[in-house]
Amino acid sequence: MHNERITTSEKTDVLIIGSGAAGLRAALAAAATAPGVDVTLLTKSALKESNTRYAQGGIAVAMNVDDTLALHVQDTLVAGAGICDRAAVEAMVAEGVPRVSELLDWGANFDWEGTLPRFTQEAAHSRRRIVHKGDATGRETTDVLVQQVVNTARIRVLTNAFAVEVLTAEGQCYGVIALVEGEPVLLHAKVTILATGGLGRLYPCTSNPEVATGDGIAAAWRAGCELIDMEFVQFHPTTLCLDGAPNFLISEAVRGEGGQLITIRGERFMEKYHELGELAPRDVVSRAIQNEINQTGFPCVYLDVTHKPADFIVERFPTIFETTQRYGLDIRIDVIPVRPGAHFMMGGIRTNTEAETNVRGLYACGEVACTGVHGANRLASNSLLECLVYGARAGTNAAAFAQTQTVGVTPADSHIPDTATMVSADKVDDIRHTIRETLWKNVGIERNGEGLQETLAQLQEVAEAACTPLSLGDEGEQYTQGTCEAANMLDVARCITEAALLRTESRGAHYRSDFPERDDTAWHRRIILTRDKAPQWIELER
């Protein structure tokens, strides 16, 4: 079964999987770095569909008159709770300035105030340093980058193309197996960049779109990549909690502009949890909201901006205003029902600051990757900054690598890797539901050893009952995007749970009720997971 040949195959020099800000920026950098290099960009859905598009708050960048690179670095390190990679943070912050300036040169229509962008405040930032376009910064950023990609002749875009497996031979990546418009295609590449985004859809309440099912992390893990910091899943404190409405993100910037969190009784509560109140780090705010929900038995708390001028609300938050209005809320006079939702993965595929993984010829950038810039808890609006900076680095370095490869690694007998699995088609919906419910219950905002052990056992039982080897042949069940997504979700869920069980302390977004304190003596280190190997540790300097 595992040696069935794929008859349809294509070749490219640089293959990029994912069309969020990281993937788009990588494609532009690759094309600019090496004029003779062909670039192919695969996207799971439409070209503009990604987590980037739904980012509201903005891009953190040290460009304001009272700001410095050093302050931005320090804020990032503090938010990361002691396990950020300083060199990676310093590179992101320093290179972020030219990357954002570049966006402006390309026509990004951010909000302005005089001769400077209109900087806003967000939680845990010591300065107003968030550039934005109302509350639709992600859409503006996506539109600008997509236009640049479309205008670059040597970038080929394949939409509705789902990367199923990363293919390797003798420790080097040589491309992917993909479903392109539903048909299997083997895409050979001299170098491959994973920019597949996050995994919020592993949880029932999330700000992420449908495409965020952890595919790149799972495929990389099966291909032998090291994963790191997988226990650190960030929950955004405020997603819309309204019957009939989607889990729509209510931006951090709402609190940055003075929004207040209140209980069903109309009482503010954040000051009893943190001296910064509503502007405390996201993990603190999320746990505080969940605690209030647990105490009151009510499914949400409320975010109140009714004390702000009505015109300001409409101008500053047009997307939130229009979306909530469609569901019967007028945020000029109504409070907004909110609850935490899965938002961002701080961990992922381990890379260095050059975006290289431990598999030769395979690079990663954006949310799917982990350079260590976010540590245990991402600072608000550093995500798009990371995508721009490390997307550009990935594209530049990958294109340079491709130029050293005279012939792409293309084994004569291309076949499905032995690690490849899928979920039986008739079990996909049940598996998705099981993963989401057990992760929300036991591997969410608050965890404990008993629940984590229970989850690992349940996920193992599900895998044994539902997973089957991937098949392209006439015999046996044929694979689809849905059957492969479910298998990816299962693999990633197990990695998150295993790392969470190993870290017997509370740090950043990882909170263990049975180990509620941060332990720098035993746990000033990071956890590496690799398929078929025992966990490894990176000890950090104190």
Q: Which CATH architecture has domain 236-341?
A: Alpha-Beta Complex (3.90)
Same fold, 236-341 and 421-517: no
Q: Specify the pLDDT at position 416.
A: 61
Q: Is 282 a catalytic residue?
A: yes
The single-letter code of the amino acid at 76 is T
Please write the tens of the pLDDT for every residue from 198-220: 999 999 999 898 889 999 999 99
Q: Which residues pair with 113 in a beta bridge?
A: 116
Judge whether 357 and 363 are in contact, CB under 8 Å: yes
Dump pLDDT digits (tens) for 399-420.
999 999 876 555 554 556 677 7
pLDDT(9) > 90: no
Task: Name the one residue in this structure whose structure tokens are 């015109």.
Answer: 311
Catalytic residue from among 139, 222, 282, 447: 282
Phi-psi region of 349 (alpha: psi -120 to 50; beta: other; left: phi over 0): beta
Domain boundaries, the chain: 9-232+344-404, 236-341, 421-517
CATH of domain 421-517: 1.20.58.100
Which residues have a Cβ under 8 Å from the Cβ of 503 and sit 6 or more positions away?
A: 231, 510, 512, 523, 527
Q: Write the pLDDT tens digit of every residue in 441-474.
A: 999 999 999 999 999 999 999 998 888 887 665 4
Tokens for 43? 């996207």
Give the burial string for 329-368 (b: 16+ CB within 10 Å, else e): bebbeebbbbbbbbbbbbbbbbbbbbbbbbbebbbbbbbb
**What local confidence, expressed as pLDDT, does residue 55 receive?**
67
The pairing of beta strand 369-370 with beta strand 348-350: parallel
Window from 40-54, 241-255, 278-292, 377-391 with minimum mean pLDDT: 40-54
Helix (H), strand (E) at residue 192: strand 183-194
Please say whether the structural domain 9-232+344-404 has been given the CATH code 3.50.50.60. Answer: yes
* pLDDT grade for 3, boundaries at 50, 70 and 90: very low
Give me the chain's average pLDDT, please: 91
pLDDT at residue 517 above 90? yes
Task: Band the pLDDT of 146: cuts 50, 70, 90.
Answer: very high
Mean pLDDT of 485-498: 97
Which residue bears the tokens 């020099």? 13
